[in-house]
Amino acid sequence: MEITLESPLDMHLHLRDGDMLKLVAPLSADFAGAVIMPNLVPPVTDPGAMVAYGERIATAMGDSPFTRYMTLFFTKQSEQQLTLAKETPGFFGYKLYPAGITTNSEGGVANLAEAESTLKMMEEMGIPLLIHGESHGFVMDREAEFLGVYKHLAQQFPKLKICMEHITTAAALDLMEEFENLCATVTLQHLIITLDDVAGGALQPHLFCKPIAKRPHDRDALLQAAVSGHPRLMFGSDSAPHPRCKKEACGCAAGVFTAPLALPKLAEIFARHHALDNLQGFVSGNACRIHGLTPAAKHVTLHDTPMNVPTSYRSYGQQVVPMYAGEQISWSIKH
Ligand code: NCD
Ligand code: ZN
């Protein structure tokens, strides 16, 4: 069995910077493009820094055609700043983080009411808003508690394109049904694991991420929505590499590294659910339609020949451990 995907996209990707960027960028090169997260240290807040970062990504990527959809770290903006961002080549949208909610988000939004004038202008200018939707409440309830904010924003700004990033709950899917201006990304790991896989037995630091994996019925609802071809659900890996020493540590950093195995594993999952016909929409078609994207032309053929996932990837003095390290996945990329 095999399937050829046209221009697969990763709608939520962390590529980092420096030596880590050099290590991980080529491991996303089977994708035709990706939405690049801005949570560097310091975060990417202005168009000049964004363009420079995009150029470093292009260099690290090598020859492979790869369309960069760059995001800016959301802070309150003037109309002039928004106009400049919108006119900057490669700009895709703003990523809003509640202050302190995840890795390198300390400079995020502490008071959403203060952001509303910016959101109003973004709505008028057609600039997408990507949100890390978690409250500061109990870890298992953070996404559910944030749904009221999504609902408020969807009602207040009916023309603003709001993407709920890396959703992890059935309730988030239900909310998406209520508002046409909401769409969502979902990661690979949240289609597969629950909190039990992270902390039910020996603690698995390489499966620890924000938002934390939830309950079986959440995972099952997300999987069902993905394989059934939900038109507003898009693949966003949230592949979030951290050095091995930061993961296998007291105070483990949040993030699961999935970029090199995401497409084979997705093919395995969709094939198992007799849903390979819906994979193109999930990894590209929905995003292209929703956002009007025309990524680099790239054909990627996947086949049901096993892939051995390396125990780690290392170079440039960096080492990262992927999901399924040392295990076999029953599909692979046909090169
Ligand atoms: C991400 C990271 O490491 O940058 N971590 C994660 O657990 N997903 C940040 C994020 O997207 O929350
Ligand atoms: Zn992320």
Residue 335 pLDDT greater than 90, yes or no: no
Question: For the segment 187-203, what is each residue's pLDDT rounded down to a tens digit?
Answer: 999 999 999 999 999 99
pLDDT range class, residue 309, cuts 50, 70, 90: very high
Residue 269 pLDDT greater than 90, yes or no: yes
| Spans of all domains in the chain | 10-261
Which residue would you say has higher pLDDT here, 103 or 222?
222
- Residues 21, 28: Cα–Cα separation, whole Å: 11
C-beta separation of 321 from 292 below 8 A: no
Q: Is 10 a catalytic residue?
A: no
What is residue 207's predicted lDDT score, i.e. its pLDDT?
A: 99
Question: For the segment 137-167, what is each residue's pLDDT rounded down to a tens digit?
Answer: 999 999 999 999 999 999 999 999 999 999 9
In the set 218, 238, 277, 304, the catalytic residue is: 238
- Side chain identity at residue 329, one-letter code: I
Task: Please state the rounded mean pLDDT for residues 70-80.
Answer: 98
Range of lowest pLDDT (86-95, 101-110, 143-152, 278-287): 101-110
Q: Which residues contact 10 (CB under 8 A, 6 or more apart)?
A: 28, 31, 33, 34, 35, 235, 236, 237, 239, 259, 262
By percentage, how much of the chain surpasses pLDDT 70?
Answer: 100
What is residue 118's predicted lDDT score, i.e. its pLDDT?
A: 98
Q: Which of 210, 237, 321 is the best mutation target for the ligand 1 pocket, counting ligand atoms within 8 Å of the beta carbon and taking the most?
A: 210
For residue 13, which ligand has an atom nearest its CA?
2
For ligand 1, whether the C-beta of 105 sits within 6 Å is: no
- Domain 10-261 fold: TIM Barrel (3.20.20)
166 C-alpha to ligand 2 centroid (Å):
7
For ligand 1, whether the C-beta of 247 sits within 6 Å is: no
